[in-house]
Amino acid sequence: MNIWPIVAGAAAVAGSAAWGAVAPSSQMYGPTVRHTDAAKKIALTFDDGPNPPVTPRLLELFDRYSVRATFFLIGKFVRECPSLVNEISIRGHLLGNHTDTHANLIFQSRAGLRDELERCQIAIAAATHADPPRWMRPPYGYRTPLLKTEVQRAGMQGVVMWSRIGWDWKPQPPERLIARLARAARPDRSHGDIVVLHDGDHRALGGDRHHVVTALEYWLPRWRDAGLEFVTIEPCAASDSPRAPRK
């Protein structure tokens, strides 16, 4: 997810409205979940999957360190590898909606937005033979005034942003990502981080995300030894919303 061309383009025409749509801390277009409710709780979230070369490696890693994570999936990829999606769920991770085609929501009509959300919900429910997701993350972090209403209409609890970003959506030396993640989950705050990482590439299945796997191989034992608890978005996420999720 490369947000900067969108930030720049949108900012040129819309000023603060663009900031309100993209900035993870903005509540302009409805409240969002953007951190956990305790400094010792870290929520690792993964966008743009499922991705057959990468997601299974993460699942093995998470089993080793008793990690529960949240995966925001793209519907069209879910339909291509439903068994992998089911495996993510069976292993105890939470699934979320990342739209059906990784659509840029700024260009969507209400009907188009509704279709993007519903098709992804249906794909995930069909793959897991379970209820559809309760949380969504907009591609590129881009929200619009329509999003809150349509998320609720699709039966979801809300929108999840992040407090820490990996800048990991292009292949890169793992050392860079390892260094960036050093700032995650510092215990000197009242809230814990929601970290956004990527197991997939929204353009196609098979994207190279080995740097994400390597960085987590480095950090997971260190975070565990530091006493961090790995949580999914639900039920531990904190929200600024009066409709906060269950504690």
- Residues of this chain that interact with Zn ion (CB under 5 A) are 1, 47-48, 139, 202
Placement of tokens 């809230």 in the chain: 191
For the CB of residue 139, give the shortest distance to Zn ion in the complex, in Å: 5
For the CB of residue 40, give the shortest distance to Zn ion in the complex, in Å: 28
For the CB of residue 166, give the shortest distance to Zn ion in the complex, in Å: 12
HSE-CB for 244 with a 13 A CA cutoff: 13
List 198, 201, 202, 211, catalytic entry:
198
Q: Toward Zn ion, which CB reaches closer, 115 or 218? A: 115
Cα 171 from Cα 222, distance rounded (Å): 24
Counted residue by residue, the chain has a size of 247
Q: Toward Zn ion, which CB reaches closer, 6 or 154? A: 6
DSSP string for residues in 62-109: HHHTT---EEEE-HHHHHH-HHHHHHHHHTT-EEEE--SS---GGG--
List 37, 47, 193, 201, catalytic entry:
47
For the CB of residue 3, give the shortest distance to Zn ion in the complex, in Å: 9
Say whether 47 is catalytic: yes
Q: Toward Zn ion, which CB reaches closer, 197 or 238? A: 197
Q: Toward Zn ion, which CB reaches closer, 201 or 234? A: 201
Cα 233 from Cα 68, distance rounded (Å): 10
Contact 124, 84 (CB under 8 A): no
Catalytic residues: 47, 198
